[in-house]
Amino acid sequence: MRHDTILADPILPVDTLPLDVAVIVPTLNEAANVERLIEKLSTVLAGRGWEVVFVDDNSPDGTSDLVRRIGRTSRHVRIVQRVGRRGLSSAVIEGVLATAAPVIAVMDGDLQHSEDALPRLIEAVASGRADIAVGTRYVDGGGTGDWDQGRVRMSRLATRVGQIALRTDVSDPMSGFFAIRREAFDAAMPRLSAIGYKILLDIIASAPTPLRVAEIPYHFRSREAGESKIGARVIAEYLELIADKTIGRFVPVRLLKFLTVGGLGVFVHLAVLRAALGTGSAFIAAQTSAVMVAIAFNFFLNNSFTYADRKLKGWRLLGGLASFYAISAIGAVANIGIGTWVAGQHERWWVAGIAGVLVGAMWNFAMSAALTWRK
């Protein structure tokens, strides 16, 4: 379908109807699916005042440019192009903030969500019957399409983890296909984590009061074009979201990740120290080598794990490493100083040691967040 042949509403021109629903579609390299998706939305949303907002993470395949060209002749098609930012959850949030529609629908840009279920999702919310309507694969009438048994089992396990951790009985909390009242979204927004791909789970867990949920079955379809985004990073971000919505209420998840990396760094330090001493090095030389290697280990692991959303690359990586060495050196001095002071107060040796470690760790975390991996 050519972009200049997309039909407006057959009953009334689209710009004469009041806007009542916006469909938010996060995209990354989905140019091959854009025109077909718009055509399908034009059909199922005929008679409504609607718009589709594509939120594209600066796709190298030209997704943003394609949507922009279509939008010149189809006023219900809009684009939010993001540069230097990634992530489905944050893309949905920005898409919602870019529209005035009272009802928001969210779906993927890969044509795997059945547009036939979209009017029922919207109606469940627009009628006032529900605050949020979820397209689900796990009730009668729904299905996972041609998934193999391994993927079905993994999805079921992840779903169960989400249900238990967040105490919800929604059958498909990992669904990326839903509609929600703007007021309900606005109420949850200040608490949203915006981590990873599971924005529905985030919204349900962040709502200040329990949401009235309607579940609409649909069949998950096979991808027609493009590549799946599912991978190890998606799984890691899902687990991080679960952690943020549970223990994250008490201790920031990023701090826990930073401390975990620091704990692994202790083992690296000891391994290098032992190896250096085994070669006959003097202790001071061995200890210095161990410290240098452990700091570098911590930096690179934090860069890929703790601060994956702010990951340093190219020349910025070298600058970040230098700043992390400087911060860690000051942290080591603080560790020793505080530990010595506490020991001087006639505290047990292990209390002094822990006090020094905690002060050093908190210094390293706070300063590396502000300087090395600053936003």
pLDDT tens across 308-360, in order?
878 898 899 999 999 999 998 888 787 767 767 777 776 666 676 667 778 87
Phi/psi of residue 22, nearest 5 degrees: -120, 135
Whether the predicted pLDDT of 97 surpasses 90: yes
pLDDT of residue 222: 63
Whether the predicted pLDDT of 49 surpasses 80: yes
Q: What is the pLDDT of residues 132-176, one digit of tens each?
A: 999 988 777 766 666 666 666 776 777 777 666 666 778 888 788
pLDDT of residue 288: 79
Q: In this predicted model, which residue has the larger pLDDT, 46 or 228?
A: 46
Whether the predicted pLDDT of 121 surpasses 70: yes
What's the average model confidence in pLDDT over 83-102?
Answer: 90
- Which CATH number is 3-249's, of 3.40.462.10, 3.30.230.30, 3.90.550.10, 3.40.50.300? 3.90.550.10
Q: Residue 232: pLDDT band by 50, 70, 90 thresholds?
A: low
Q: Which of 29-43, 154-168, 287-301 reaches the highest mean pLDDT?
A: 29-43
Q: What is the pLDDT of residues 58-73, one digit of tens each?
A: 999 999 999 999 999 9
Percent of the chain exceeding pLDDT 70 equals 80
**CA gap 105, 52 in Å, rounded:** 9
**pLDDT, the chain, mean:** 82
CB 63 within 8 A of CB 34: yes
Whether the predicted pLDDT of 11 surpasses 50: no
How does strand 21-27 pair with strand 132-136? unpaired
pLDDT of residue 353: 64
Whether the predicted pLDDT of 26 surpasses 70: yes
Helices marked H in the chain — which ranges? 31-44, 63-71, 88-97, 118-126, 149-166, 182-188, 199-206, 232-245, 253-278, 283-301, 315-344, 349-367
Q: In this predicted model, which residue has the larger pLDDT, 119 or 197?
A: 119
Q: Which of 79-88, 135-144, 240-249 reaches the highest mean pLDDT?
A: 79-88
Q: Other CB atoms closer than 10 Å to residue 53's CB: what's the count?
A: 25
Q: Other CB atoms closer than 10 Å to residue 196's CB: what's the count?
A: 24
pLDDT of residue 62: 92
pLDDT of residue 269: 80
Q: In this predicted model, which residue has the larger pLDDT, 84 or 11?
A: 84
Domain boundaries, the chain: 3-249, 253-372
Whether the predicted pLDDT of 56 surpasses 60: yes
Q: What is the pLDDT of residues 102-114, one digit of tens each?
A: 999 999 988 888 8
Least confident of 115-119, 263-267, 320-324: 263-267
**CA gap 352, 346 in Å, rounded:** 9
pLDDT of residue 107: 93
Q: What single-letter DSSP state applies at residue 219?
A: B
Threshold 0.75, pTM exceeds: no
Q: Residue 45: pLDDT band by 50, 70, 90 thresholds?
A: very high
pLDDT of residue 95: 95
Q: What is the pLDDT of residues 183-229, one digit of tens each?
A: 999 999 998 887 766 788 889 888 899 899 999 998 887 655 555 55
pLDDT of residue 147: 61
Handedness of CA 83, 84, 86, 89 (dihedral sign): negative
**CA gap 25, 34 in Å, rounded:** 10
